[in-house]
Amino acid sequence: MAAKKKNKKATVAPSPADNRDFRTGELYAPAPEARDHATIEARYDLFIGGKFVPAENGKVFATVNPATEETLSEVAAAGAADVDRAVAAARKAFPAWSRLKAAERGKYLFRLARLLQERAREFAVIESLDGGKPIRESRDIDIPLAAAHFFYYAGWADKLAYAFPGRNVAPLGVAAQIIPWNFPLLMAAWKIAPALACGNTVVLKPAETTPLTALKLAELIADADLPPGVVNILTGNGSTGDALVRHPDIDKVAFTGSTAVGKRIQKALAARGTPHTLELGGKAAHIIFDDAPIDQAVEGIVNGIFFNQGHVCCAGSRLLVQEGVAGTIIRKLKRRMETLIVGDPLDKNTDIGAINSRAQLERIRELVDSGVREGASLHQSAQPLPAKGYWFAPTIFTDTAQSQRIVQEEIFGPVLTISTFRTPDEAVDKANNTPYGLSGGVWTDKGARIFGATRALRAGVVWANTFNRFDPASPFGGYKESGLGREGGLQGLAPYLHLLP
Ligand code: NAD
């Protein structure tokens, strides 16, 4: 039986009394009606072999609400012995799961998708409490998209022969999957759904600052009666991830996270030849031509960089504007920034929530300071920020140079750099001038410009006259230091299969 302590429910305590809502002057407290939809246990264990079990060494860590700095729950920290147990459980479950009639595997995934939809509200609230993202986004984007991924790959489970005509397909075995904190449940769905549809079993490690929705998903996996060991969830930090990646009995690694850790993982796997996919960082160029619909483009820019506090690998974090419209775009953008509401993630009117962790806030501050030191002009929204919690004002930099750190490095926060260009070629040269190549965007009235730019941009995803749109049917992944392989769509199945002649 689950070792999870059902009796000790954590109530999410109101914020301290010195914390006032900057718009109303009222004492700040997350909307109670939203909070009521979330059940967060005081303590969570590891999910191994279909059961919740404590870490062998008994270690735990706290997961914190970044909007209030309060501890939401204590979570088990998996050590090497727990990694062994989880991989063994996944290995044991593999033969029966991989031989199960494909349509039956699909049914389990459909069941998970429906359960997620039924409990979507609870998942959305927990995602916002644990990660800091606005409830509007977790409610309307993260959770529905996660369910959509399970539905999508459920549909593929018994059609793999049609996905790869003329080939025999076989699952790889035990997949080690490691995910970041910016879209916790969605990243879990991106990983688990295709792996299971192809007949693999899974050990998933969520990020240390946002473990709660993956653990809620473990509850649904148990409710859906998935055979024990098909999905195992290990919470912990980078050392847990490292032990998982280096485990000798895994057949595949799927990693989403920073380029630095991705490189380390690739090095660790090089000698063994374990198949791996890496979804890494980005520094997308968002290109606005002078014939673009200006007001829509400004909304696109706002969505491109301020969605999810800019904690988005494919964020449109480098704006390239054609000279003739640069003044108008920057003026309108500054005005629009003043209307963005930064604050309580559980408030439906919030546009920008809390920065995910103190460490991430410090990284954003450090990079922004470097931009000022290197001579770029800083402009920030004048909206005051809540007193407690981790917050960063919407920020833009003008007068930038291609060599500055803020233009080259991923900031992963609500910070946009702006530069101008004269010709399409100059725009493309600047766009491609970073080590990354994950995504890009183009705003123009002319189809020829869209096709010209999208062909020339070295980026895995390019949006035209929109930004940050996602669909389970479309593949996602990077060029250069943004990664290796694709997730999503038909292309997302191949990395989980042996494709035999
Ligand atoms: P991170 O690399 O620090 O951590 C990601 C995950 O890896 C976490 O679960 C962490 O515990 C684990 N980890 C850390 N060190 C490890 C090690 N040595 N071995 C194995 N696992 C280890 O990244 P982050 O800060 O959590 O996430 C932000 C990064 O993720 C950004 O760079 C962002 O661009 C990227 N990202 C990419 C995509 C994509 O699809 N390309 C999507 C989301 C986020």
Domain 285-471: give its CATH superfamily: Aldehyde Dehydrogenase; Chain A, domain 2 (3.40.309.10)
**How many Å lie between the centroid of ligand 1 and the Cα of residue 179?**
6
245 lines ligand 1 (CB under 6 A): yes
Most informative mutation of 250, 280, 487 for ligand 1 (most atoms within 8 A of CB): 280
User: SS3 string of 393-408?
Assistant: CCEEEECCCCCCHHHH
Q: Is the CB of 483 under 6 A from ligand 1?
A: yes
**132-188 pLDDT, tens digit each:** 999 999 999 999 999 999 999 999 999 999 999 999 999 999 999 999 999 999 999
Q: Is the CB of 438 under 6 A from ligand 1?
A: yes
HSE-CB of 392 using CA atoms within 13 angstroms: 31
- Give this prediction's pTM: 0.93
178 CA from centroid of ligand 1 (Å): 8
Residue owning the nearest CA to atom 35 of ligand 1: 257
Minimal-distance CA residue to ligand 1 atom 13? 238
Taking the CA of residue 242 as reference, the ligand 1 atom at the shortest distance is: 19
Q: Which two tokens stand for residue 225?
A: 């009666």
**Domain segments of the chain: what residues?**
9-18+27-280+482-500, 285-471
User: Can you say whether residue 223 is alpha, beta or left, with left for phi > 0 and alpha for psi between -120 and 50 degrees?
Assistant: alpha
User: Which atom of ligand 1 is closest in space to residue 245's alpha carbon?
Assistant: 20
Q: Nearest to residue 87, comparing CAs of 202, 191, 246, 179?
A: 202
What's the pLDDT at 34?
54
Query: What sign has the CA pseudo-torsion 42, 47, 52, 56?
Result: negative
Ligand 1 centroid vs 1 CA: distance in angstroms?
Answer: 32
Check if 247 has its Cβ closer than 6 Å to any atom of ligand 1: no
Question: What is the model's pLDDT at position 501?
Answer: 87
Q: What is the pLDDT of residue 38?
A: 82
Reported for 334-341, long-range contacts at CB under 8 A and 24+ positions apart, including other chains, are 334/379, 334/396, 336/298, 336/299, 336/302, 337/302, 337/379, 337/381, 337/394, 337/396, 338/381, 338/382, 338/383, 340/302, 340/306, 340/381, 340/383, 340/394, 341/23, 341/383
Of the candidates 41, 208, 279, 481, the residue annotated as catalytic is 279
**pLDDT at site 28:** 44
* Active-site entry in 70, 313, 410, 481: 313
Ligand 1 centroid – CA 182 distance (Å): 9
Q: Is the CB of 269 under 6 A from ligand 1?
A: no
| pLDDT confidence of residue 36 | 64
How far, in Å, is the centroid of ligand 1 from the Cα of 281? Answer: 8
279 annotated active-site: yes
Atom 22 of ligand 1, nearest CA residue = 238
Alpha carbon 23 to chain centroid, angstroms: 30
Low-confidence residues of the chain, pLDDT below 50? 1-24, 26-32
Distance 290 CA to ligand 1 centre (A): 37
- What is the DSSP track for 360-385? HHHHHHHHHHHHHHTTPEEEE--PPP
| Domains 9-18+27-280+482-500 and 285-471 agree in fold | no
> 245 alpha carbon to ligand 1 midpoint, in Å?
13
Residue among 191, 203, 256 whose CB has most ligand 1 atoms within 8 A, to mutate? 256
DSSP labels, 1-44: ---S-TT-EEP-PPPPTT-B-TTT-PBP---HHHHTT--EESEE
- Known active-site residue 362: no
Q: What is the CATH number of domain 9-18+27-280+482-500?
A: 3.40.605.10
Neighbours of 26 (CB within 10 A): 9
